[in-house]
Amino acid sequence: MKTIRLEGKWTLSNRRGDVTVDATLPGDTHSALLRAGRMKNPYYGLQEMEALWAGREDWAYEREFSVPAEMLTEHSVFLHLENVDTISSVSINGRPAFRTANAFRRYRVEVKRLLKTGRNSLRIEIRSAEKAAQHEAKKMPYPVPHNWYPLQSPHRNLIRKTQCHAGWDWGPCLMVAGVYGELYLAGVSAARIEHVLVRQKHAGRRVEVEVCCEVISPRGGEAGYEMEFGDHKVSGRLKLRKGMNVLKRGIVLRNPKLWWPNGYGAAHLYDLRVSVAGDVVRKRVGIRKVEVRFEEDRHGLSLAFHVNGVPLFAKGANWVPADALPQRISRKMVGDLLASAVQANMNLIRVWGGGRYESEDFYDCCDEKGLLVWQDFMFACALYPAGKSFLANVRQEAEYQVKRLQHRACLALWCGNNEDIGALTWYEESRRNRDRYLVDYERLNEGVLGDTVRRLDPDRVFWPSSPCGGPGDYSDGWHNDSRGDMHFWNVWHDGKPFEDYLTIKPRFCSEFGYQSFPSIDSIRTYAPREQWNLTSPVMEHHQKNPGGNARILENMTRYFRFPKGFEDFVYLSQFQQGLAIRIAVEHFRRLRPVCMGALYWQLNETWPVCSWGSLNHDGKWKLLHYMARNFFAPLLVCVTQTADGRFEIWCCSDSLKDASGILSIRAMDFQGKVLRREQIRTKIPRLSSKRVKRALISDWAPVPAQAFLFVEWRSGGRICRATHFFRPFKECELARLNLTVRVSAAAEAGAFQVALAADVPAFGVSLDAKGIRGEFDDNVFTLLPGAGHSLKFLAKQRTTLAQFRKSLCVHHLRNTY
Ligand code: BMA
């Protein structure tokens, strides 16, 4: 196969003709305009508003390329375009070649007749997605509503584009256009590989890997092929029909090295190489058995992932695109975000339906790091059309994506959409005529998406929607905690106290979240200092959930004393976010095996904004992310209290071995005096949660507002800690403290040691190396007098000791007021 790469330099111009700039493909319009100085940074201040025009323009990308004569001696020459966003017409040498209408598809179209030897030109005219969507809306036989956020491009649900480009409750409205995947021309005579599909059949330690290769031959004939899997190799010759051919071979592995999710073992991958007539496809395949079990039981309908026979408590978060401008999303950026997920002890990431089917980089990383993927199809928070052409378009998208991703070890489950069952109850139209919209829903969801998965990836489960009570269940997954997966939003969207998390017993909680402000480093990238105020225009603009800031404030006044300044407020908003999610996750883990998963909303964000994310847009960890590392750790100790005046201590273990250890419990006052202590031996059976202590609060803390509980669980070299307040923080008279902070260079390059000591207990002690990329190996902790705390910071950029010392800033609860 001969190829001509078309990535690189292009020219971008608008139809009106007043903008012409250099551009890069793969890439997007907005990134090109920014680089050329025709757009201001839309992430800064209120400048998003000044970028809206670009989404309302029709754009054309253009370039020349040269075709050698021998290319045209091939029987076929096709143009490969991936992820063209969205509605476009492609022409070669001024003659129409084809049209695209789906950003999630790969187009491979025969174009030989349009090419000539020597100079050729290629033009991709992309219609304004906003206008195209409005045009679609006029053609609908009846309205097809979707969610509206403060800045919203209308009817995004009518075109097959990343839905959150149109604006979300954490995202800007930047209706980018462009091409994000590969672009090339290829000349073929014998055959080209369309897809390589892999199935695994496990029978004990014997695993049969079935490799199925789809080959297209322009004229039929014969070709040699090779398949290598690890050390195994098969080869031969293949008779080809004109058109589609299928080559299927089985390879038997005995005692293969298994692929394990993070926390359970190594994520071993085998190399797979397939070549047919010189066209080569390489993949990496992990051998593992993933089962998604949902079964009727006395609690309702369970939902749990089992990997290689081990029932796994799913710990993770929801993923949104790594940037609102697709061109900026790099392998490094994605790798960094996912590395942070792994460091926080996550084992499952949900690729949320309002974003995009992720890049190969993303799934490579998940395969390598042992992160399972819950993969939504890209439909979210809306009703969708079910007309013939829309369904046909979606079918092609689904077939392509399923074939592209089904070999992945990380891919655990396909899910129809995000919250589209719920959406049936959100709009006047669908409330009045539920039948009509439900039929449409089902045509798309089961008729196209479910059907595609069942045909092309029969070893995986198609979960109809998230949340969902199981196949055939169209009821409310928000408020029903007994069936399937649940999105629980009472605490954030309904403004309920954090303790509300304790009132549910979800089988699998795939979304629950609490917002915070981004870290100061992030705020600095969009707001000048005079805007550092909760209600300033810029701060309000970077809060896309109406009433969001008020809600953060409301809960702050519920639990904390009012912070004295903006930076204290930012710190406290992050501490409170961490607290909310910790309360939920600890509870869900205690519920094991009734509950088998906790995925908080959301891991990352597409631009710097107030959000539910635990990572700032630049990847820096918010306090929640540090707290997640503890509450998602394989061993967890946690304290909860009950309405009858007792506290309970629980140990949760995701370990494959029984965990024996020693639990030490201390009740102390705020001067650090121990009021009562106890030590107990514990033995926690593998993969379980167990209550290890239950006692009357009054026996430990005669005046609950004047004491706290500090618990330490030591087991097999691991130490877990928990601090519990019996009353809201604001009611407690925390002591003022003298804090000493010593900073030194650590042995390894770019690392620094910080030693902290205090004369009385300090709570929520958090460090921030402002302006320096990097993370601490521990953060957000309780500091007890007499027990210093030492931790390390690993810089991700060149940093001197003096710079680090200067950047370091320490927060704790008592110094917020
Ligand atoms: C969810 C998500 C998103 C949204 C989030 C916060 O349910 O699926 O649509 O951003 O809530 O409101």
Per DSSP, the residues of 187-247 read EESS-EEEEEEEEEEEETTEEEEEEEEEEEESS-EEEEEEEEETTEEEEEEEEE-SEEEEE
Task: For residues 103 and 100, give the distance between their C-alpha atoms in angstroms, rounded to a whole number.
Answer: 8
| Ligand 1 near 283 CB (within 6 A) | no
Q: What residue's CA is closest to ligand 1, atom 12?
A: 169
pLDDT tier at 22, thresholds 50, 70, 90: very high
For residue 651, report the distance from its CA to the centre of ligand 1, in Å. 31
The per-residue pLDDT for range 758-792, each reduced to its tens digit, is: 999 999 999 999 999 999 999 999 999 988 899 99
Closest C-alpha among 294, 232, 283 to residue 411 = 283
Q: What is the DSSP string of 36-62?
A: TTSS--TTSTTGGGGGGGGGGS-EEEE
| Ligand 1 near 611 CB (within 6 A) | no
Cβ density class 166-193: b for 16+ within 10 Å, e for less:
bbbbbbbbbbbbbbbbbbebbbbbbbbb
Mean pLDDT value of segment 407-427: 97
Residue 480 has pLDDT above 80, yes or no: yes
The per-residue pLDDT for range 607-634, each reduced to its tens digit, is: 999 999 999 999 999 999 999 999 999 9
For residue 799, report the distance from its CA to the centre of ligand 1, in Å. 38
- What's the confidence (pLDDT) of residue 782? 98
Centroid of chain to Cα 352: 7
| Ligand 1 near 511 CB (within 6 A) | yes
Mean pLDDT value of segment 584-600: 98
For residue 650, report the distance from its CA to the centre of ligand 1, in Å. 31
Mean pLDDT value of segment 399-409: 98
Q: Is 115 helix (H, G, I), strand (E, B) or coil?
A: coil
| Ligand 1 near 600 CB (within 6 A) | no
Residue 474 has pLDDT above 80, yes or no: yes
The H or E element spanning position 178 is strand 178-179
Mean pLDDT value of segment 205-217: 97
CB 345 within 8 Å of CB 634 = yes
SS (H, E, C) 438-479: HHHHHHHHHHHHHHHHHHHCCCCCEECCECECCCCCCCCCCC
| Ligand 1 near 418 CB (within 6 A) | yes
The per-residue pLDDT for range 109-156, each reduced to its tens digit, is: 999 999 999 999 999 999 999 999 999 999 999 999 999 998 999 999
Residue 477 has pLDDT above 80, yes or no: no
| Ligand 1 near 487 CB (within 6 A) | yes
For residue 654, report the distance from its CA to the centre of ligand 1, in Å. 28
Question: 293: how many CB neighbours lie within 10 A of its CB?
Answer: 12
Mean pLDDT value of segment 447-470: 98
DSSP 507: S
- What's the confidence (pLDDT) of residue 478? 80
The per-residue pLDDT for range 692-734, each reduced to its tens digit, is: 999 999 999 999 999 999 999 999 999 999 999 999 999 999 9
Residue 417 has pLDDT above 80, yes or no: yes
For residue 471, report the distance from its CA to the centre of ligand 1, in Å. 22
pTM: 0.98
Residue 53 has pLDDT above 90, yes or no: yes
Ramachandran angles phi, psi of 714, nearest 5°: -110, 125
| Ligand 1 near 420 CB (within 6 A) | no
Residue 1 has pLDDT above 90, yes or no: no
Residue 255 has pLDDT above 90, yes or no: yes
CB 84 within 8 Å of CB 103 = yes
- What's the confidence (pLDDT) of residue 222? 95
Task: For residues 300 and 606, give the distance between their C-alpha atoms in angstroms, rounded to a whole number.
Answer: 37
| Ligand 1 near 478 CB (within 6 A) | no
Mean pLDDT value of segment 422-441: 97
Residue 671 neighbours by CB under 8 Å, 6+ apart = 735, 760, 761
Question: 537: how many CB neighbours lie within 10 A of its CB?
Answer: 12
Ramachandran angles phi, psi of 359, nearest 5°: -75, 165
At 656, the amino acid letter reads L
Residue 664 has pLDDT above 90, yes or no: yes
Q: What are the structure tokens assigned to 259, written together?
A: 């692929």
Mean pLDDT (the chain, rounded): 97
- What's the confidence (pLDDT) of residue 56? 98
- What's the confidence (pLDDT) of residue 151? 93
Question: 197: how many CB neighbours lie within 10 A of its CB?
Answer: 18
Closest C-alpha among 126, 72, 45 to residue 524 = 45
- What's the confidence (pLDDT) of residue 150? 85
Q: What residue's CA is closest to ligand 1, atom 9?
A: 381
Residue 749 has pLDDT above 80, yes or no: yes
CB 244 within 8 Å of CB 216 = yes
Q: What percent of the chain has pLDDT over 70?
A: 100
The per-residue pLDDT for range 269-301, each reduced to its tens digit, is: 999 999 999 999 999 999 999 999 999 999 999
Q: What percent of the chain has pLDDT over 90?
A: 98
- Give residue for tokens 């304004």: 128
